[in-house]
Structure 1
Amino acid sequence: MNIAFETPDQPDIIALIADLDAYQLTLYPPESVYALDMASLKQPNVVFAVARDAAGAAVGCAAMVVTPEFGEIKRMYVRPEARGQGLARRVLGMLEREAAARGCTLYTLETGPSQPEAIALYEKLGYQRCGPYGGYRDDPLSVFMRKTAQ
C-alpha cells in the first residue's frame, strides 16, 4: 500500500468520499454528520492523504485541517476490504507529522458513538475524549477527542 498527499478532487477519491458519506448516513442523521465538502477539502490549510492498493486504487483517505489553534482530522475512511492492514494508523501518522511540521501541537477529531472500532484506534494512538471544541455543539451522537503532539 502506498500513502501520499494528493488532491481530493480526483474521480476515484470522490467515489471513496461518496462511500464514506453513504456509510455515515446509515449510522447518523444528516444533522449529526459534520463532513467537509470538496471546496473545503481543497483549501491551502488542508492536508489530504490517500492510501492506494497495489493496483493504484484509492482504498483510504483522511484530511487534517490545520489552524493556528489545532489540527482537526476529517474525512477519515478505509474501505472495508482494506481494513486490518494498519492503513488508518499510517494515514493518521502521516497527517500528524505534516501538521507538526507546520507548527501544529494539538490534534482533534469528532467521530460518533456508533463507530467503536474508530474510537478504539484513536485511543490506542493517544487520543483522549474531550468536550466540544471549535464551533461544535454538544451532541449525544458525537465523540470529541484530542491529542497533544509528542
Structure 2
Amino acid sequence: MNNKKIEIIKTTSENPDFGTLITALDASLWERYPELKTNYWGNNVIELNSNVIVIYLDNKAVACGCFKKYDKNTIELKRMFVSPEARGMGLAQKILRELELWAHEVGFSFSILETLYKQKEAIGLYQKVGYTIVDNYEPYVGLENSICMKKQI
C-alpha cells in the first residue's frame, strides 16, 4: 500500500466525513442508474446510525460503510463505498470485516444487503467473502434491478 497510513474508526452517521463519502456514493449511483433515482431514493435515507465505519488513508476519508438492525438476528449493510482513488487496496473487505465483527459482538447472527445489478465488482466482492444471492427482501421485493444477498456472521 505504498506505506500509506490506514486508520479505521467506528463513528456515527453524524460524522461529517461519512456525510461527504455518502454524497459521493449517491452521485456515482445516480450517474450509473439515472432511471432508478425516483424508485430508490426513499431507500437511501440514512437515519441516525451509531454503527458506522470510516477508513482514512493518510488522514483523508476514503471509504465507509454502516449497518442497521433488520430484525432481532439480522443486520443490513448500508452505504458501502470506496472512493475511486482508493480502490484496489482491499478497503471494502476491511470495512466488511469490521462491520460483521461489530454486529456479531453485539449479538447478530446474519448480515443482509442490497446492491444493484450493474455493481458487478461489489457483487463479486460479496460472493468472495461468503454472501449468497437470496430472494429480495422488503423493501426491495419486486424491484428487478436489486440483488439481495445474505451471510451468516
Q: Deviations over 1:111-150 (max 9, x none)?
A: 011110000000000000001124332211100000012x
Q: Give, in whole Å, the separation in 2 of the partners of 1:24 and 1:7.
A: 22
Identity %: 34
CA contact (8 A) 2:140 2:146 kept: no
CA contact (8 A) 1:106 1:148 kept: yes
List alignment gaps of at least 5 residues for structure 1.
none
Q: 2:94 matched to which residue of 1?
A: 90
SS of residue paired to 1:114 = coil
Cα offset, 1:26, TM superposition: 1.5
- Asked if residue 51 in structure 1 is aligned to residue 59 in structure 2, the reply is no
Return the letter of the residue paired with 1:58. A
List alignment gaps of at least 5 residues for structure 2.
1-5
1:106-125 residue pairs with structure 2 within 5 A? 106-125=110-129
Return the letter of the residue paired with 1:6. T
Alignment match of 1:70 (pick from 68, 74, 78):
74
- TM-score of the two chains, using structure 1 as the length reference: 0.89
Q: 2:109 matched to which residue of 1?
A: 105
Q: 1:15 matched to which residue of 2?
A: 20
CA contact (8 A) 1:32 1:141 kept: no
- TM-score of the two chains, using structure 2 as the length reference: 0.87
SS of residue paired to 1:3 = strand
- Asked if residue 81 in structure 1 is aligned to residue 85 in structure 2, the reply is yes
- Aligned-residue Cα RMSD (Å) equals 1.4
Q: Which moved more, 1:115-124 or 1:126-135?
A: 126-135
Alignment match of 2:40 (pick from 26, 32, 38):
32
Structure with greater proportional strand content: 2
- Asked if residue 61 in structure 1 is aligned to residue 64 in structure 2, the reply is yes
Q: Give, in whole Å, the separation in 2 of the partners of 1:62 and 1:72.
A: 11
SS of residue paired to 1:108 = strand
Return the letter of the residue paired with 1:2. E
